[in-house]
């Protein structure tokens, strides 16, 4: 027994030093007869002991020892560490006030002027900044700025697509064509365009109307008028938060949050709600709609795969990463052309939301989420990682220096020091895509086979591409006359208890996959249909939630029956337990689906047995999307305190008071088990209020 205890102490010390991970700990412990129970007990000792380095995982991880990290990910984490490469999980927060949840993490650090910086609250004991700003003002100003930052990301995405569509329509861009004329016609009518009869004429009007939404400073955005319900417009109008144009609102927000301007928390919070609408209608809806016009509305993808082992040892590997698919679509085409005449093939794989875009339209397999981008390079088998914008971390260049991988930045807005920059313009898209393929192909000769490490883990088969149009088409096979009726009938009958949209981001603040996997499992078990977007997709894919498995593991009996029936009507053996609806801008599709269900039942979205969740939110975009969801009337769960906890009044407003204004509210809970039970309770309460069985 004494020998076992000494071995256990040695293994615990190795875990604390980061020399082995949890799974290796359990494996080694088992070889000397230490039980899982003893190991779990040891974890409690480990959790209360001092850490050798305060990384995010050592401080924040909630995952129990029996949670299995996706094997390929864990393999590559260990391999990268063996080469001395630090990863996003290792670096963590470097400011002690932020890490301990005092000043920075509480939202009480202000850098708005040169009289500071000022930190209030527990970190310093101060209650006023140099200018006299209180905790409420500092926290709310910073929240508004972060929402403005996230909103601008989606707005610029929409601008890039709209300018491309304008060039196609006017004839200045010949590399692209309009693929979905039905979607174009619907948008043309929905935006109130008139006076055009040809496809190009309509496309030009739609592009111009979209760009007008970004620049106008009076009236409401045409996309908001088109996509939102009249009930929502009336509510937002009464609150005084109907926006004008994206540029004006973002500029105003930056002005109001400058030192010496807006000093009222409630007034600032209304600006936050307004920016959420800008994000939804000048950003997400516009980007999604126009991309469908140019590249096609997603249809069911049956044969894609997910996981880091989609990178192949015997192929030229190109990883496409970022968010805007304008260039990535062309790289897929260029790779196909190259492969027609070369024996050594190019293998294009996706990452993050650019990966989502080419997955749902082109069936391209996906390597991983934002936090896995360093791991893809660590395989030693990536010839080029081609990036556009958003969620591209600069450390990938530092990792790439250990291998032969070329990091190629392409967007005029984004460069990385040391990386190759090839600026993309849609006018020369085909030539640029061919150039990138050749750069990657030529770089294959520089690959060092001694550093190639692709995990011996088979990627998961996944089914994706659940646009609203595809969902309606699948339901039409059940009821051609009234496609929504099968969905509504099953909700009413409690075969589908409710619908929860789980939206992107994967956090390094917890064990990889834990929050997404746990929440998704718990909801599915309660017959709640899970739809998702963004980096949730990669977790769901790697853990099997997007696999069309006819045994439906983790799925409640009633929901499984519904999925089987829809699959059978469409000639399929199964549908996945969760429905992938796209990238982060494609949260707009979720609103379209909810609007259709609410209209069918003649209720508000806030009355439906539905909710939104971002259990691993990390970006400013996530804050903007969450604010838009609250504007819609959704109960919106976030898994990490969004840097406002230092203002009790702002917390109360966003988690309680706002519900009386929009019908939605924020709910913060990092424990996915607790969050799942709360969301299930909310869904049940909504059902009861509608007189539906639970």
> Does 342 lie in the same domain as 266?
no
439 exposed, middle or buried (CB, 10 Å; 0-12, 13-18, 19+)? Answer: middle
> Does 316 lie in the same domain as 186?
no
Percentage of residues in the chain having pLDDT higher than 90: 86
Q: Coil, strand, or helix at residue 191?
A: coil
CB-CB neighbours of 631 under 10 Å: 28
DSSP assignments along 333-389, one per residue = HHHHHHHHS-SS-EEEEEEHHHHHHHHHHH---EEE-GGGHHHHHHTS-EEEEEE-S
> Does 582 lie in the same domain as 480?
yes
> Does 554 lie in the same domain as 486?
yes
Percentage of residues in the chain having pLDDT higher than 70: 91
> Does 595 lie in the same domain as 655?
yes
> Does 549 lie in the same domain as 664?
yes
Is residue 50 pLDDT above 60, yes or no? no
Is residue 55 pLDDT above 60, yes or no? no
Residue 519 near residue 551 (C-beta atoms within 8 A): no
Q: Coil, strand, or helix at residue 113?
A: coil
Is residue 45 pLDDT above 80, yes or no? no
Mean pLDDT taken over the chain:
92
pLDDT in the model for residue 38 = 46
> Domain tally for the chain?
4
> Does 150 lie in the same domain as 273?
yes
pLDDT in the model for residue 65 = 80
Name the pLDDT band for 20 (thresholds 50, 70, 90). Answer: low
The whole domain housing 539 covers 468-689
> Does 635 lie in the same domain as 548?
yes
- The answer as to whether 99 is a domain residue is no
pLDDT in the model for residue 26 = 55
> Does 521 lie in the same domain as 477?
yes
pLDDT in the model for residue 39 = 43
Name the pLDDT band for 134 (thresholds 50, 70, 90). Answer: very high
pLDDT in tens, 565-607: 999 999 999 999 999 999 999 999 999 999 999 999 999 999 9
Between residues 44 and 71, which one has the greater pLDDT?
71
- The answer as to whether 84 is a domain residue is no
- The answer as to whether 109 is a domain residue is no
pLDDT in tens, 515-570: 999 999 999 999 999 999 999 999 999 999 999 999 999 999 999 999 999 999 99
pLDDT in tens, 194-238: 999 999 999 999 999 999 999 999 999 999 999 999 999 999 999
Point out the least confidently predicted range of 95-109, 141-155, 483-497.
95-109
- Which tokens go with 447? 């690959």
- The answer as to whether 128 is a domain residue is no
Domain final residue, candidates 232, 260, 294: 294
Beta bridge partners of 611: 500
> Does 415 lie in the same domain as 490?
no
> Does 684 lie in the same domain as 561?
yes
- The answer as to whether 127 is a domain residue is no
> Does 276 lie in the same domain as 364?
no
- The answer as to whether 683 is a domain residue is yes
- The answer as to whether 618 is a domain residue is yes
Is residue 34 pLDDT above 60, yes or no? no
- The answer as to whether 15 is a domain residue is yes
Domain containing residue 245: CATH number:
1.20.1270.30
Domain containing residue 322: CATH number:
3.40.50.2030
Domain final residue, candidates 18, 34, 69: 69
Domain final residue, candidates 45, 69, 93: 69
Name the pLDDT band for 46 (thresholds 50, 70, 90). Answer: very low
């Amino acid at each position: 027994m004494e020998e076992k205890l000494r071995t256990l102490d040695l293994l615990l010390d190795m875990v604390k030093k980061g020399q082995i991970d949890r799974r290796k700990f359990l494996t080694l412990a088992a070889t000397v007869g230490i039980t899982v129970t003893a190991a779990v007990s040891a974890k409690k000792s480990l959790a209360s002991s001092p850490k050798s380095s305060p990384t995010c995982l050592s401080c924040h991880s909630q995952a129990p020892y029996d949670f299995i990290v996706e094997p390929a990910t864990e393999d590559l984490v260990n391999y990268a560490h063996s080469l001395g490469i630090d990863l996003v999980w290792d670096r963590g927060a470097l400011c002690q006030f932020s890490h301990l949840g005092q000043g920075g993490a509480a939202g009480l650090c202000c850098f708005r002027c040169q009289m500071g910086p000022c930190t209030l609250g527990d970190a310093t004991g101060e209650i006023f900044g140099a200018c006299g700003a209180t905790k409420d003002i500092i926290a709310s100003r910073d929240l508004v700025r972060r929402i403005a930052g996230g909103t601008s990301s989606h707005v610029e995405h929409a601008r890039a697509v709209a300018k491309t569509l304008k060039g196609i329509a006017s004839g200045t861009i010949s590399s692209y064509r309009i693929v979905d004329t039905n979607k174009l016609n619907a948008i043309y009518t929905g935006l109130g365009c008139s006076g055009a009869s040809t496809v190009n004429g309509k496309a030009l009007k739609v592009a111009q109307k979209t760009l007008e939404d970004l620049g106008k400073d009076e009236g409401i955005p045409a996309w908001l008028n088109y996509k939102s319900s009249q009930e929502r417009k009336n509510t937002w109008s009464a609150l005084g938060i109907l926006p004008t144009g994206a540029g004006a609102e973002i500029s105003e927000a930056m002005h109001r949050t400058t030192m010496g301007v807006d000093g009222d928390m409630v007034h600032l919070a209304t600006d936050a709600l307004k920016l959420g609408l800008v994000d939804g209608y000048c950003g997400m809806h516009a980007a999604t709609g126009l991309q469908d016009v140019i590249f096609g509305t997603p249809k069911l993808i049956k044969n894609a795969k997910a996981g880091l082992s989609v990178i192949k040892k015997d192929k030229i590997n190109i990883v496409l990463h970022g968010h805007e698919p304008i260039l990535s679509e062309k790289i897929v085409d260029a790779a196909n052309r190259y492969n027609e005449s070369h024996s050594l093939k190019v293998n294009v794989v996706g990452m993050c939301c650019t990966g989502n875009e080419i997955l749902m339209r082109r069936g391209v397999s996906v390597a991983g989420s934002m936090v896995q981008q360093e791991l893809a390079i660590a395989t030693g088998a990536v010839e080029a990682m081609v990036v556009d914008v958003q969620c591209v971390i600069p450390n990938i260049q530092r990792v790439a220096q250990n291998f032969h991988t070329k990091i190629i930045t392409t967007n005029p807005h984004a460069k990385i020091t040391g990386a190759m920059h090839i600026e993309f313009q849609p006018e020369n898209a085909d030539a640029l895509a061919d150039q990138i393929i050749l750069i990657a192909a030529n770089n294959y000769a520089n690959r060092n086979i001694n550093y190639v490490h692709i995990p011996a883990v088979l990627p998961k088969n996944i089914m994706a591409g659940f646009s609203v149009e595809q969902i309606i088409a699948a339901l039409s096979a059940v009821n051609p006359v009234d496609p929504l009726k099968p969905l509504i009938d099953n909700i009413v009958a409690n075969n589908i208890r409710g619908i929860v949209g789980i939206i992107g981001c994967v956090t390094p603040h917890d064990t990889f996959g834990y929050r997404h996997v746990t929440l998704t499992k718990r909801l599915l078990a309660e017959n709640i249909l899970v739809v998702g977007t963004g980096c949730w997709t990669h977790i769901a894919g790697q853990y099997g939630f997007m696999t069309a498995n006819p045994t439906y593991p983790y799925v409640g009996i009633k929901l499984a029956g519904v999925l089987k029936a829809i699959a059978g009507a469409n000639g399929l053996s199964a549908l996945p337990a969760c429905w992938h609806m796209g990238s982060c801008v494609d949260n707009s599709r979720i609103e379209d689906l909810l609007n259709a269900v609410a209209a069918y039942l003649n209720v508000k979205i806030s009355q439906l047995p539905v909710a939104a969740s971002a259990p691993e939110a990390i970006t400013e975009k996530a804050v903007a999307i969450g604010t838009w969801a609250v504007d819609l009337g959704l109960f919106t769960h976030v898994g990490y305190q969004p840097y406002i906890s230092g203002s009790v009044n702002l917390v109360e407003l966003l988690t309680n008071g706002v519900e009386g204004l929009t019908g939605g509210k924020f709910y913060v809970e990092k424990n996915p088990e607790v969050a799942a039970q709360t969301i299930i309770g909310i869904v049940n309460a909504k059902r009861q209020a509608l007189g539906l069985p639970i």
